[in-house]
Amino acid sequence: MSESGDTDMKFKRIFGLVMDSVGTGAAPDSVNYGDEGADTLGHVGHYYAGKLALPNLAKLGISNLRDTPIEGVPVTDAPKAYYGKMQEISAGKDSMDGHWEMMGLPVRKALSTYPNGFPADLLKKLETFSGRKIIGNRPESGTKIIAELGEQQMAKGDLIVYTSGDSVLQIAAHEDIIPLDELYKICEYARSLVNGPENLIGRVIARPYVGPDAEHFTRTANRRDFTLEPTDETDMDRLQAAGVHVVGVGKINDIFSGHGIDEGYHNESNMDGMDHVDHVMQEDFTGFCFINLVDFDAMYGHRRNPKGFGQALMDFDQRLGTVMANMHDDDLLMITADHGNDPTYTGTDHTREFVPLLAYSPSFKQGGSLGIRSPFSDFGATVLDNFGVAGNDAGHSFLADLN
C-alpha cells in the first residue's frame, strides 16, 4: 500500500463509515421535500419502546448529539467520541448527493425526477437495445412492484422499470430469466442515455431478484449502481493524487464510478461489510477507508420496517465494539449517514434529515460537541486536512477540535 510522506499527520488511518439512511431528525429544509417531522433514529427508538440496545453508539454520544435522546439509548456524561450533526446543502436527498457532498462535491442543481414515469422515447430506446418489453414505469417500492409484476416478467422476459422520489432509474429482472451480465449491460446502456442535458439521472440501479413466485421473491446482493460520473474532482481524487491510499467498501465504488479508489470491496450485507472493515483494519497502510452499509436503507428504510431497522442497528452496534477494540491510537473512526429513511414515515422514499456525526479515536481522553456542521463537505475537508492535502474550500475541517 502507498504511504503518505506527511509525518505531521494526526491520524495514520481514517475510517469513514456511512450508516446508509440513518438520519437523526428533520432538517430545516425538510418542508421542501415533504418530510416534516421525519426522525429515523428517534422513531425507531420509539418503536422499540426503550428496548433499542446500542451500548457502543451510546458510549460514543449518539444520544448526546440529539435535542431529545433516543429511547433506550442514554445520554452519557463522558462521551468517548466527538459528536454532532451534519446538515446537507445538496439539491437532493439521494445517496449520491450525500456521498458526493461529503467528498467536497455538493450537488447544486437538482437532478431529473420522474413522478409520472419515464418519457416514451427513453423507454423505446431501452426496448430496442434490449429486445425486451418494459413494464411498470412508475414511482414505486421495489419489493411491491416486483411482487406485482415479477411473475409476468418471468413468463415473458420483460424488464420491470421503476423509479422513486429520487433521481433513479431502476431495472428489475429475475436472475434465472435475465442473466446478470445481460442486466448489467442493459443498465450500462441506460446510463448512457441519462447523462443530460434533457434527462440527467443520478443513478441507474440493477435490481436482480430470485424466487419461484410473488410470495417468495427476494432481491439479491447482486444489485449494482451505475452512477453519474462525478462532475468534478472529489476529495478522494485529491487524496489519491497525493499518494494517500483510498479504500472503498460497499457501494462507494459505484457511487463514485470507481474514481479516486485504489482498493474496493463489494458488500453482500451489512455484516459482510463489517467483515471487510475488520479485514482492512488488519492491513498496514496510511490512508482513508470509506465505507457504506446499505442494509438500513435497502432492507428496512424503503420497506418501512422499523423492527428490522432497529435490529440492524443493534447488530451493527455489536460489530462496532470489535472495530473500536481493534483500533490503533493513531486511527480515527468517523461515523455518519448520507440522508434519512424514516421507516415509520409515509411513502417509501428517503427523508431529508440531519445526519449524525461521531468521531472516535482510542487516543481521545474524552469527547465533546462538534455542533451542527454544514455542508457535509466538512467531513471530507477533515480527512484532507489530516493528510496535508489541499481541498476546494467546499467544507471546513474540524480536525483541530479532535484532541
Quickly tell me which residue has 472503498 as its cell: 248
| CATH number of the domain within which 146 lies | 3.30.70.1250
Q: Examine the pLDDT at 2 and tell me if it is beyond 70.
A: no
Phi, then psi, of 196 in degrees rounded to 5:
95, 175
Q: What pLDDT score was predicted for residue 8?
A: 82
Looking at residues 24-44, what average pLDDT do you find? 98
> What pLDDT, in 10s, does the model give residues 291-317?
999 999 999 999 999 999 999 999 999
Distance CA 53, CA 50 (A): 8
User: Domain range holding 72?
Assistant: 13-108+230-401
According to DSSP, the residues that pair with 332 across neighbouring strands are: 14
Cα torsion 120, 124, 126, 130: sign: positive
DSSP string, 237-304: HHHHHTT-EEEEESTHHHHTTTTT-SEEE--SSHHHHHHHHHHHHTS---EEEEEEE-HIIIIIITTT
Distance CA 339, CA 22 (A): 7
> What pLDDT, in 10s, does the model give residues 214-240?
999 999 989 999 999 999 999 999 999
- Examine residue 115 and state whether it is found in any structural domain, yes or no: no
Q: Which of 192, 12, 225, 198 is nearest to 99 (CA)?
A: 225
- Examine residue 6 and state whether it is found in any structural domain, yes or no: no
CB of 71 closer than 8 Å to CB of 50: yes
Q: Which residues are annotated as a binding site?
A: 20, 297, 302, 338-339, 350
Distance CA 52, CA 208 (A): 32
Same domain, 136 and 193: yes
CB of 171 closer than 8 Å to CB of 190: yes
Q: Examine the pLDDT at 4 and tell me if it is beyond 90.
A: no
Looking at residues 356-370, what average pLDDT do you find? 97
Distance CA 201, CA 216 (A): 31
> What pLDDT, in 10s, does the model give residues 118-144?
999 999 999 999 999 999 999 999 999
Looking at residues 324-351, what average pLDDT do you find? 98
- Report the percentage of the chain scoring pLDDT > 70: 98
> What pLDDT, in 10s, does the model give residues 180-196?
999 999 999 999 999 99
- Examine residue 5 and state whether it is found in any structural domain, yes or no: no
Among 227, 252, 281, which residue terminates a domain? Answer: 227
Q: What pLDDT score was predicted for residue 5?
A: 44
Same domain, 174 and 235: no
Domains in the chain, number: 2
Q: Are strands 224-227 and 245-249 parallel, antiparallel or unpaired?
A: unpaired
pLDDT band at 42 (very low <50, low <70, confident <90, very high): very high
Same domain, 54 and 182: no
Same domain, 314 and 393: yes
Among 184, 209, 227, which residue terminates a domain? Answer: 227
Q: What pLDDT score was predicted for residue 7?
A: 54
Same domain, 182 and 271: no
Q: Examine the pLDDT at 1 and tell me if it is beyond 80.
A: no
Q: How many CA atoms lie within 13 A of 347 on its CB side?
A: 14
- Across 325-368, where does the E strand assignment appear? 331-336, 355-360
- Examine residue 8 and state whether it is found in any structural domain, yes or no: no
CB of 270 closer than 8 Å to CB of 293: yes
- Examine residue 1 and state whether it is found in any structural domain, yes or no: no
Same domain, 247 and 396: yes
Among 227, 242, 259, which residue terminates a domain? Answer: 227
| CATH number of the domain within which 281 lies | 3.40.720.10
Same domain, 38 and 156: no
CB of 39 closer than 8 Å to CB of 29: no
Same domain, 139 and 52: no
Same domain, 220 and 240: no
183, containing H or E segment: helix 180-193
Distance CA 161, CA 231 (A): 26
- Examine residue 4 and state whether it is found in any structural domain, yes or no: no
Q: What pLDDT score was predicted for residue 6?
A: 47
51, containing H or E segment: none
Q: Which residues are annotated as a binding site for Mn(2+)?
A: 20, 297, 302, 338-339, 350
Same domain, 309 and 289: yes
- Examine residue 313 and state whether it is found in any structural domain, yes or no: yes
- Examine residue 113 and state whether it is found in any structural domain, yes or no: no
Q: Examine the pLDDT at 264 and tell me if it is beyond 90.
A: yes
Phi, then psi, of 90 in degrees rounded to 5:
-60, 155
Same domain, 34 and 91: yes
Same domain, 183 and 234: no
- Across 175-254, where does the E strand assignment appear? 203-210, 218-219, 224-227, 245-249
